[in-house]
Amino acid sequence: MTTTAASSAEPPAQPEPKAPETPLAARIADEQRRRAVVQRTAVPRPPEPRVMTIANQKGGVGKTTTTVNVAAALAQSGLNVLVIDIDPQGNASTALGIPHHAEVPSIYDVITDDRPLAEVLQECPDIPGLWCAPATIDLAGAEIELVSLVARESRLKRAVDEQLAAMGDDERFDYVLIDCPPSLGLLTVNAFVAAAEVFIPIQCEYYALEGLSQLLNNIGMIRRHLNPRLDVSTILLTMFDARTNLSSNVADEVRAHFPDNVLRTQIPRSVRISEAPSYGQTVLTYDPSSSGALSYLEAAKELALRSAPAVSTA
């Protein structure tokens, strides 16, 4: 009896069932995809320098952390960036690895003694293109000294404008980020008068919007009396914890209040972000592979690429 080829052929092999993707594997795959997007996204130079004050009158929201990490991310993308530290605590200076003991020329000398800004600038040791005008403890007394000075509210603006005007197009700063104290004193007023944009970090925690209405009222007052071009252009959600409903609820509430101004990127709560300043670094150099570093890169690129509608402060 003849056996046909069809009857002797083995049945085709069945594909093995694919193992379900674990949460960890899904997260790793998502981060790899996001990194690929960041790496292939070019960051354009703004046509004019963007001067931004990073502000929130509520402490502990990641204001200084956001200042230095967004600045570092922009510089790593090939832009020239200046951080002006006018908080007497000098935390931004520390995080950038910039010496700021009492003998160091600082932003205090610029504001109180009319010293040119160029004479106090220091370059960040581990990020080319990132510069800092450091704060020293002398700033703690600057509030009192400014009271008797002429044009006390606009001394920082004059220094920044003179510095930008003196720089050629190839060397000019693309971004100037001003880190100010949480209180509304003359130092913070100087920051608002010097800037065209306000960048507000908001933590994804209970009472996240506490004090925000007062901050917007204060910005509105600055607009009416001292700086009519000032607008709230950007809001960034920080300390986001995906494991909790609270973070998601707060994020939804903030986005509902400011639908056009909140960046899509959310900064996660991260031990690496918290550790980096104690080593005189931003998270981008302390742990470049961390989720926090990736999120700040995404936030900086989104900031540079997006249009910036203004929040009404009337």
Ordered per-residue pLDDT tens for the chain, 314 residues: 455 554 556 666 666 666 567 877 877 888 888 888 888 888 899 999 999 999 988 777 889 999 999 999 999 999 999 999 999 999 999 999 999 998 899 999 999 999 999 999 999 999 999 999 999 999 999 989 999 988 899 999 999 999 999 999 888 999 999 999 988 899 999 999 999 999 999 988 877 777 788 899 999 999 999 999 999 999 999 988 878 888 888 888 889 989 989 999 999 999 999 999 999 999 999 999 999 999 999 999 999 998 644 555 65
Spatial contact of 208 and 262, defined as CB atoms under 8 Å apart: no
Q: Quick one: 253 exposed, middle or buried, by C-beta within 10 A (0-12, 13-18, 19+)?
A: middle
- For the record, the structure tokens of 172 come out as 């000019």
Structure tokens at 227: 């700086």
| DSSP per position, 93-157 | HHHTT---STTS--HHHHHHH---GGGT-EE-TTSTTEEEE---GGGGGHHHHHTTSTTTTSHHH
Q: Which domains does the chain have, with CATH numbers?
A: 47-305 (3.40.50.300)
